[in-house]
Structure 1
Amino acid sequence: MLPDRLRPRSVTGLAGVFGIVCALASVAIGIALYALASMAFNQVQDVRLAREKTRLLAPFDGHAPTVDVVAARIAERTHQRAISSIGHRLVDGAGVLRAGTVEFQQQPRQDGTVFFRQPGEAWEAARAVEFTLADGGHLSIVAESESIEDLGKVVWPLFGAALALSAVAGALASWLLGRSISSRLSAIGTTANAIIAGDYSRRVPVDSLGGTFAEQARTFNRMLDRIEALMDNLRQVSSDIAHDLRTPLTRLQATLRAAAESDLSESERAAFIAAAGRECDGVLSLFAALLRIGEVQAGRRRPQVASIQLDALVDDVVESYVPVFADSGRSLHLAECDRCSIRGDADLCNQLLVNLIENAQLHTPPGSATQVSLRRNAGAVLLTVRDNGVGIPAEDREDVLQRFVRLERSRSTPGHGLGLALVAAIAGFHEAIITLDDAKPGLIVRIEFPAID
């Protein structure tokens, strides 16, 4: 964790830190590569030293070579190679130099490195091995590391130039990247502040070049579209609730005032109180429907989901409403009812079908016929409610699935415009597809549920 004072305060600063980290990583990589190259060259030199030692110390007449034999071999190899990167120093048991001209500054270190020089030259680092002969002589073999030194002379300037260029390019790229990200974040921040201030129409500009930033802007804008739609819906719902409550609350107020009159008989007062109770029941039913829709849309009834024999449920509901339709001068019948099952909430499915049937009864004239059918088709279960009433205009079919939407704009008939909204919520809960179509005349409501085996 960086101390707070060292943490970057802006996107540009963060990009700069990233550039510095990349530069340091480049330095570390360069050093590591040079170290590996040096190790490889040292291994090559060690192999050469071992090969030279094997040649000079090979047995002579079945015995270990003496100082004289090794000196002769060194002279022969020196004569054969006018230029060689291998040097020797051979002294006998008395310390007299017998072959080679190499001088050593110190004994070889543990890693095999030694400092040596030829007469009249400067001290140089090299790889060396030493060996004591059987007759007391001492042999030192050195392999010059001039190639490694030349490598360093070439590599380090190139690496420094490459590092400088990469640092400049990295700083420029980091600055441009920081500016690009900062400008886009600034646009998002400006839009967010406008949304906070209440301007829900503001959107984030979409990058014309496409890519990740453009996709994020589109996603953010879709979220804002959804928020704006929800806020518009909330305002509309609030307005519709106030509109729908105004009339019953006004009637309730008038009824309670009338019931408070002192010159009323007990029967008249009881009648006013009963009327006030009915008005309260209507208001409570409105809020119960709203709570029901909210509960379904929030998915709070998931634990009640189980396998449902939908054909039995449809048959029971239709059978219970046949007399109700007959009493109102209308007809209701079940056209077909295939045996099928779905996963869902039986109570909600019952509510869905009841709302559709009651909606057909409420919005069709006397003499109309309503038909219910349930069919299984290609892995889906299709529930259809069809009437031959006045139907719904095509431009209003999507709207009537929203809360408080009523085609009867004066709102003089009973209801709050929540019946089909609850149907849509229940269909969504069951991952079913709901469509409204023209029955010519009348309305067809189709709900397609996923079937189970």
Structure 2
Amino acid sequence: MRKPLIQWRNARTRLVLASVILSTVMTAAVLTLVYLTANRTIANETRSVVTAELAGLADEYERMGTIGLIRAIERRSEDAAARDALYLLADAQGNVLAGNLLGWPKDVEPGSGWVELDLIKTESGESVSISAASIKLPLYERLLVGRDASASRKFDRVLLRSVGLSLLAALALSLLTGWLLTRLVFSRLADIARTSEDIVSGDLSRRIPLRGTGDEFDQMATTLNGMLDQNEDLISNLRMTTNSIAHDLRSPLSRLRQRVEQLTDVTRTDAERDTDAARALAEVDHLLRVFSQLTEISRAEAGLGRDEFEPVDVPALVHDVVEFYEPVAADKNVTITIEGDAGPIPAHKTLLAQALSNLLDNALRYAPAETTITVKLAQTDAGLCLSVRDQGPGVPDADLSRLSQPFVTLDPSRTNKNSGLGLALVAAIARMHGGTIEARNRTIGLEIKLTLMN
């Protein structure tokens, strides 16, 4: 089926049409106002001049009488053609005494106000349209003064034609402007639509193109691209986490199943069953810890708990957490020290304490005996920096960027029951606070720095 030339349901067509209608209505209103104002100004000016002349001739009549008025009209009639002026003085019966009009109009009563009528000029004998006013003099003479309305009507036609042409020009200009505007807007929307379609089709790497103009569309595209980057990272992390869960939980679930089967073996002794039960409980506890950490990571990534932010005295919190870990460190013959200071920041106190606990857990796991773990605080322009540094063997540089990924551990055997979720939770808490986590090897040991926005 052939598409119609103009698609009225199309948003672009409706936008152009709305632009044309709005511009045309506004232009028509302005031009109409100009037309009416010009006509009214000309009419008022004509009436003012005619009224002034009537008053002047009436004064002449009072001073000089009828003879004086006739002479005054004759003097004014000499240059009347140049001024489009028309005069008529008649007696009580309507006989012409002076002026440049042929006779008194039958339907006009002296003093009846402003009139529009057609009369005949004395000199040329041609009919002329005039705008005039009249008065009755004390001895019943009639005086009429007017102006030739032909020039005014001609000007009116010219003005009306100009208004029409201006309206057509405005219509064409609004049509062009609307088309260019919609072309600009919908071309940018088309970029967004094409990118969205590619992403829906599975190409998560697609981004909305920028045109380098720095306008609102580029700003919106930059914001949307940032959102798409985050979505791609989240989906990538979700895929990696799903794969890691399938891989990392298979072994403990298999061991748990084996322990349960051994518990049902009637040939095993009570001591062996007690051992199997204890090992099964250990596997269950390990699985519960993994799922608990996964839940905490998911909540932090989703931003749940931001409504619980409060001013946190970070030095006091660090002191409390370090004090809690000092007995564990003493058992390993490791010392924990605190350096630096910082002011209070808005944060989730419980999760911030959890992040520091995970960093200390990680440091104590690899810190050799008779070494020091340093917890350092610093207030910078970027925010609050909280770092934990051990004096252990460090990690390969290639693995530094992987430390905060879920289920990443440098102990392939997992003999220490490390699920690889501790630093992943720290990274999630950092992002929840608008911050970052960074791991780097120092001359001796590994330092993990947590930066939180003020």
| Structures share fold, TM-score greater than 0.5 | yes
Counterpart of 1:141 in structure 2 is 145
1:392-412 Cα distance to aligned partner (Å, 9 max, x none): 344443432333333445655
| SS across alignment from 1:58 | helix
Q: 1:87 deviation in Å?
A: 1.2
Q: Identity, % of aligned pairs?
A: 30
Counterpart of 2:41 in structure 1 is 40
Task: In structure 2, give the amino acid aligned to 1:32.
Answer: L
Q: 1:114 deviation in Å?
A: 0.9
Change (3 A) 1:90 1:111: closer
Distance 2:282 2:357 in 1: 22
Contact 1:107 1:114 (C-alpha < 8 Å) held by counterparts: no
Q: 1:391 deviation in Å?
A: 1.9
* Counterpart among 132, 143, 148 of residue 128 in structure 1: 132
Task: In structure 2, give the amino acid aligned to 1:74.
Answer: I
Change (3 A) 1:164 1:393: same
Q: 1:145 deviation in Å?
A: 3.4
1:379-431 Cα distance to aligned partner (Å, 9 max, x none): 96543321111223444434323333334456554222221222223333444
Contact 2:116 2:132 (C-alpha < 8 Å) held by counterparts: yes
1:304-345 Cα distance to aligned partner (Å, 9 max, x none): 3333333233223222322212323x4122243647433333
Counterpart of 1:226 in structure 2 is 230
Contact 2:113 2:134 (C-alpha < 8 Å) held by counterparts: no
Q: 1:292 deviation in Å?
A: 1.4
| SS across alignment from 1:50 | helix
Contact 2:77 2:100 (C-alpha < 8 Å) held by counterparts: no
Distance 2:201 2:382 in 1: 49
Q: How does 1:44-443 map to 2 (within 5 A)?
A: 44-58=45-59, 67-79=66-78, 81=80, 83-102=82-101, 104=105, 107=108, 112=114, 114-119=116-121, 120-124=125-129, 126-172=130-176, 174-175=178-179, 177-179=181-183, 181-207=185-211, 211-328=215-332, 330-336=333-339, 338=341, 340-375=343-378, 381-409=384-412, 411-432=414-435, 434-443=437-446
**Please, which runs of 5 or more residues in structure 1 have no aligned partner?**
none
| SS across alignment from 1:88 | strand
Distance 2:267 2:311 in 1: 61
Change (3 A) 1:427 1:47: same
Change (3 A) 1:74 1:345: same
Distance 2:320 2:178 in 1: 71
Contact 1:59 1:65 (C-alpha < 8 Å) held by counterparts: yes
Task: In structure 2, give the amino acid aligned to 1:42.
Answer: A
Task: In structure 1, give the amino acid aligned to 2:85.
Answer: I
Root-mean-square deviation over aligned CA pairs:
3.5
Q: 1:187 deviation in Å?
A: 4.1
Change (3 A) 1:324 1:214: closer
Q: Which moved more, 1:427-436 or 1:342-351?
A: 427-436
Change (3 A) 1:84 1:106: farther
Change (3 A) 1:222 1:148: farther
Contact 2:54 2:145 (C-alpha < 8 Å) held by counterparts: yes
Task: In structure 2, give the amino acid aligned to 1:115.
Answer: L
Distance 1:82 1:303 in 2: 89
Change (3 A) 1:213 1:448: closer
Q: 1:282 deviation in Å?
A: 1.4
Distance 1:375 1:219 in 2: 31
| SS across alignment from 1:76 | helix
Counterpart of 1:15 in structure 2 is 16
| SS across alignment from 2:82 | coil
Change (3 A) 1:210 1:434: closer
1:117-144 Cα distance to aligned partner (Å, 9 max, x none): 33333452x4322323233333222122
| SS across alignment from 2:135 | strand
Contact 1:405 1:417 (C-alpha < 8 Å) held by counterparts: yes
| SS across alignment from 2:249 | helix
| SS across alignment from 1:401 | coil
Distance 2:402 2:441 in 1: 15
Task: In structure 2, give the amino acid aligned to 1:444.
Answer: E
Q: 1:105 deviation in Å?
A: 8.0
Distance 1:387 1:105 in 2: 119
**Please, which runs of 5 or more residues in structure 2 have no aligned partner?**
1-5
1:175-232 Cα distance to aligned partner (Å, 9 max, x none): 4554554454444333323322323233444447775555544444443333222221
Distance 2:378 2:138 in 1: 107
Change (3 A) 1:191 1:443: same
Q: 1:149 deviation in Å?
A: 2.7
Distance 1:241 1:150 in 2: 91
| SS across alignment from 2:93 | coil
Q: Which moved more, 1:148-157 or 1:211-220?
A: 211-220
Distance 2:98 2:438 in 1: 106
Contact 2:355 2:425 (C-alpha < 8 Å) held by counterparts: yes
Question: How many aligned positions are there?
Answer: 443
TM-score normalised by structure 1 residue count: 0.83
